[in-house]
Amino acid sequence: MAEEAAGVCRAVQKDGRRHRALNPLAQTEAALLPAVNRGEYVINGFRNRDIRRRLHGQCHDPLQRRRDPGRVGRPLALLRAHGLIRKVPGTHRYAVTESGRRVITALLAARRASTEQLIGLAA
């Protein structure tokens, strides 16, 4: 499990392109991981629009509304490059992979744990 979680914290190459490492402590990625890992998305998956509404809410500014899909699409591409999510064929949806669910759950648990809890686990 630790190896899988450590793997997403390193840069990867996919389709000849380099994708940066995930930083689960960064505010944007800390909000993205629980958003894609919600139970309601297990059966049908999620769309960019679903995550966009969860992270940014409803936007009324036309310029911002045009930029928002990219603000979510790029992090989704990063999760996809790391193998945490996959594209559902024939749709505009994504689904969290089995290994992605394990890694995301581990990262979220580590993020929520206090220093005392983490030290107690290591001892």
Reading the block at residue 33, the tokens are 């991981």
3-state secondary structure 68-95: HHHHHHHHHHHHHHCCCEEECCCCCCEE
Q: What is the mean pLDDT of the chain?
A: 87
pLDDT in tens, 63-87: 777 777 788 899 999 999 999 999 9
Give residue 121's pLDDT band: very low, low, confident or very high (50, 70, 90).
low
Residue 123 pLDDT = 57
CA distance 11 to 74: 15
Domain that holds residue 14: 2-122
Residue 28 pLDDT = 85
CA 16 → CA 6, 75, 77, 81, 96, distances in Å? Answer: 22, 18, 14, 11, 23
Q: For the domain that residue 107 is a member of, what is the CATH number?
A: 1.10.10
The 10 Å CB-count burial string (b at 16+, else e) for 103-119 is bbbbbeeeeeeeeeeee
Residue 122 pLDDT = 58
Give residue 95's pLDDT band: very low, low, confident or very high (50, 70, 90).
very high
Q: Which of 101, 69, 106 minimizes the C-alpha distance to 85?
A: 101
Report whether pLDDT(24) > 90: no
Number of domains forming the structure of the chain:
1
